[in-house]
Amino acid sequence: MLSTLAVAASLACAPLLSGAAESATDKQAFISDLIGKMTLDEKIGQLRLISIGPEMPQPQLLKEIAAGRVGGTFNSITRAENRPLQEAAAKQSRLKIPMMFAYDVVHGHRTVFPISLGLASSWDMGVVEQAARVGASEAAADGVDVTFAPMVDVSRDPRWGRTSEGFGEDPFLVSQCARASVKGFQGSSPANADSLMAVVKHFALYGAVEGGRDYNTVDMSLQRMYQDYLPPYRAGLDAGAGGVMIALNSVNGQPATSNKWLLRDLLRKEWGFKGVTFSDHGAIDELLRHGVASNGREAARLAIEAGVDISMADSRYLEQLPSLVKSGEVPVGLIDDAVREVLGAKYDMGLFQDPFRRIGTAAQDPADVDAESRLHRAEARAVARKSMVLLENRNNALPLKKSGTVAVIGPLADAQIDIMGSWSAAGKPKQSVTLLQGMRDALAGTGKITYARGANITDDTRVVGYLNFLNWDSPEVVQDKRSPGDMIEEAVRVARDADAIVVAVGESRGMSHEASSRTSLALPGSQQTLLKALKTTGKPLVVVLMNGRPLTVNWEKDNADALLETWYAGTEGGHAIADILFGDENPSGKLPVSFPRSIGQIPTYYNALRIGRPFTPGKAPNYTSQYFEEDYGPLYPFGYGLSYTTFSMSDVRLSATKLARNGQLTASVTVKNTGNRAGETVVQLYLQDVVASTVRPVKELKDFRKVMLAPGEARVIEFPVGEDKLKFYNAKLEYVAEPGDFNVQVGFDSEAVKQARFTLE
Ligand code: BGC
């Protein structure tokens, strides 16, 4: 239907480009010709991305667009909103250059999928791709062209609230997710009417902000950057992402937004990136506060010199570039380069052929943009089922029986907003299925659900009271006015009458968001007191976690009968959680991040560099590297997750113990489902370079396979190992594999592994 619409619309507005101009030369010729016709003001207009909102009333915006002073907008999410804007550009402006419309479509659009951390927990790239594909098709059907996603910042510090937006701590897994996501957003081409152009963010190293405090500085060795933090951006770009968003942080003393090394030497020259770069929100202006520009004029000059093509929600380019060019301080060639990238992106999205390809005609607009029929519930539920990680299951407390009475308790049990997670795009809370609803639907006609809230998410008045951190722009968290004691008492009463307790605890979604850094990773407020009180009832206690970062769930680990990490599972979250709790789905997720025991232990990422005095289990800890008040290692390791069945793994077999340069060997294991129900697990391959010219990690994930096995079924899983998997950046930043011994580890998580050794000749 969209393609018919697209043709009709394109005829109606006489596009700049008729017919299909396919080749790169056609594209360059078309763009050069257009740039040749543009005035300086029109060029600078193309570099301006405006946030739709109260800052600019629509009549003024339409005038600005018609005058050729705006290249695109973001945050408008219906065809009806975008159509007049596109008409002003494509019909009224002098050169009829189309607008582009952007939005943060991170984990779904109208249908909300699990947050990225949940998607990564599936370790299933089909799942990651599908979430992006559905999100793209829904957003494109709303007239959106560009998404500010995927967010591929490696994060090793769970204090950082944006941990929730990324795919975890591991360069290899995050890179795989980056690739799958870009593929999903862009489909076979960003020009497709149901595709979005992907913008990989935040370039670069945003996940490494010091202390996990958002927007803080990053200071990092080149080795660490190249080895651990840069690969996911590169993977997203190699998968064809059309854009890059520049990070808000500084990198080794230079803000990313004014960082020529980052944006020109690395991104353009070394990596050969040909797409468009976006500043983050207001970031050019922030160069003043970073203290590298003394005024707006200098900020604009630094940003354009560094290679920032588009200024987002920032008027510095508009105000300053005209006179900077006229005075000769900024050569017009720099502006032309940036404009070429913007027009190139619009060209790649098919907008010159048809500016209305994602907007269509008014007659075709949905009568109700929020209509239930526009959602993809089945896909969201299937994906959410794959995103959850079973952390504990004592005495097979799960799955629950579909009979009797289940007490559903907790501040997150009936939280329609929170279950969507942060950056939930155009998702509507009233359309999301809470855990309570999901449980009611699952038990309808066969059992009974009772409910008590039990606690507020937090009692901290700084967060929900006088500073109102969580409710600053809308009432996200509504406090129950009863005292914690009264709420707990009610919950215990309800629990006593039930056969099992399912209690949803964690963080409100605003606690795992941009600018939401924490100094504690414990359950906030009186939630743990609630859990302890429920435990005294002696009823099976099933703890369902909803959160956007690892939490220090020590008590929960030791005391819950079952512990299920559900992250924020999206529109169909409640159904998907119930599917797992009642055994309609066998959990198969694995942690994409390590869970620390305490905040003092951070960072706890598994692939740390080796050291001279490592802690050795079973030996005295004195003069070894550890914290003496606490057990060594994470609470739950990277890659960990249980199933309702059990699996065994054979020793690792190597097809050879010597690997020639350019050769290949195979590491294989036999994996068997030793339980009595079908289930999936993730077989993970780690490598360790035993001796190298620089210190290397204790191990690094290099491959994985998700396998479904019937009860009793055994399968041989083979991993090819060649030189490419052994390479690293040496002291001269050369990407090399050095001869010598390598340990091959295969396991069901990063700790429970079997090992063999081979030698690279
Ligand atoms: C965030 C970006 C986001 C942008 C536009 C910024 O605050 O850092 O990730 O894409 O806003 O919404």
672 pLDDT higher than 50: yes
Q: Distance (Å, rounded) from C-alpha 405 to C-alpha 450?
A: 7
Hey, which bits of 555-607 come out as E strands?
A: 562-565
**Encoded amino acid at 674, one letter:** T
Compute the distance from residue 104 Cα to the ligand 1 centre, in Å: 7
Please say if the pLDDT value at position 256 is more than 60: yes
* Residue 589 confidence (pLDDT) above 90: yes
* CA nearest to 100, candidates 44, 159, 166, 147: 147
Is the confidence at residue 523, as pLDDT, over 90?
yes
138/32 Cα distance (integer angstroms): 33
Question: Which of 124, 214, 280, 309 is labelled catalytic?
Answer: 280
**What type of residue sits at position 610?**
R
**In 359-459, which ranges are E strands?**
389-393, 404-409, 447-452
Q: Best of 106, 148, 244, 285 to mutate for ligand 1, by most ligand atoms within 8 A of CB? A: 148
Residue nearest to atom 11 of ligand 1 (CA): 281
Please write the tens of the pLDDT for every residue from 117-134. Answer: 999 999 999 999 999 999
Spatial separation of the C-alpha atoms in residues 756 and 745, rounded to whole Å? 7
User: 51 in ligand 1 pocket by Cβ < 6 Å?
Assistant: no
* Mean pLDDT of the region 390-408: 98
Please identify, by atom number, the ligand 1 atom nearest to the C-alpha of residue 202.
9
- Catalytic residue list contains 486: no
> How confident is the model at residue 9, as a pLDDT?
38
Which of 280, 284, 285, 422 has the most ligand 1 atoms within 8 A of CB, as the residue to mutate?
A: 280
- Mean pLDDT on 231-260: 98
Quick one: which of 457, 411, 465, 468 has its CA closest to 434? Answer: 411
**What is the distance between the alpha carbons of residues 742 and 727, in angstroms, rounded to a whole number?**
12
- Asked whether the beta carbons of 559 and 523 are under 8 A apart, the reply is no
Distance separating alpha carbons of residues 510 and 523, to the nearest angstrom: 14
Does residue 114 have a pLDDT over 70? Answer: yes
Handedness of CA 584, 590, 593, 598 (dihedral sign): positive
pLDDT grade, residue 17 (50/70/90)? confident
Ligand 1 pocket residue status of 514, Cβ below 6 Å:
yes
Q: Six-digit token pair at 247?
A: 């990070």
pLDDT score, position 54: 83
Please compute the mean of the pLDDT values over residues 77-82 and round it to a whole number.
97
In this model, does residue 7 exceed pLDDT 50?
A: no
By alpha-carbon position, which residue is closest to atom 7 of ligand 1?
Answer: 281
Q: What angle do CA 462, 465, 469 make, to 5 degrees?
A: 60
For 93, the 3-state DSSP assignment is coil
Mean pLDDT of all residues in 688-709: 98
CB count, 10 Å around CB of 371?
10
Tell me the C-alpha distance between 122 and 587, whole Å: 10
Q: How sure is the predictor about 508, in pLDDT bands with cuts at 50, 70 and 90?
A: very high
Query: Whole-angstrom Cα distance, residue 360 to residue 5?
Result: 5
Q: Is the pLDDT assigned to residue 356 strictly greater than 90?
A: yes
pLDDT surpasses 90 at 465: no
Q: Is the pTM of this model over 0.95?
A: yes
Spatial CB neighbours of 579, under 8 Å, sequence gap ≥ 6: 381, 385, 438, 442, 585
pLDDT (tens digit, 9 = 90+) per residue, 210-224? 999 999 999 999 999
Per-residue pLDDT averaged across 356-385, rounded? Answer: 98
Question: In 10 A of CB 734, how many CB atoms?
Answer: 9
In this prediction, residues 498-523 reach a mean pLDDT of 97
> Across all residues in the chain, what is the average pLDDT?
96
Cα–Cα distance for residue pair 294/609, rounded to 1 Å: 40
Predicted pLDDT of residue 22: 62
Ligand 1 pocket, residue 282 CB under 6 Å: no
Measured CA to CA, the distance from residue 572 to residue 633 in angstroms comes to 35
Please give the share of the chain, as a percent, with pLDDT higher than 70: 97
Residue 353, pLDDT > 60, answer: yes
CA gap 408, 422 in Å, rounded: 24
Say how far apart CA 474 and CA 493 lie, in whole Å.
33
DSSP 270: I
pLDDT of residue 171: 98
Q: How far is CA 657 from CA 40, 635, 757, in A?
A: 65, 35, 7
Average pLDDT, stretch 406-429? 97
- For residue 240, which of 190, 279, 310, 202 has the smallest C-alpha distance? 190
Q: What is the pLDDT of residue 14?
A: 52
Q: Does 148 sit in the ligand 1 pocket, CB within 6 Å?
A: yes
Tokens of 481: 């006015």
Write out pLDDT tens, residues 729-743.
999 999 999 999 999
Both tokens of 607, joined, read 């692939």
The DSSP symbol for 381 reads H
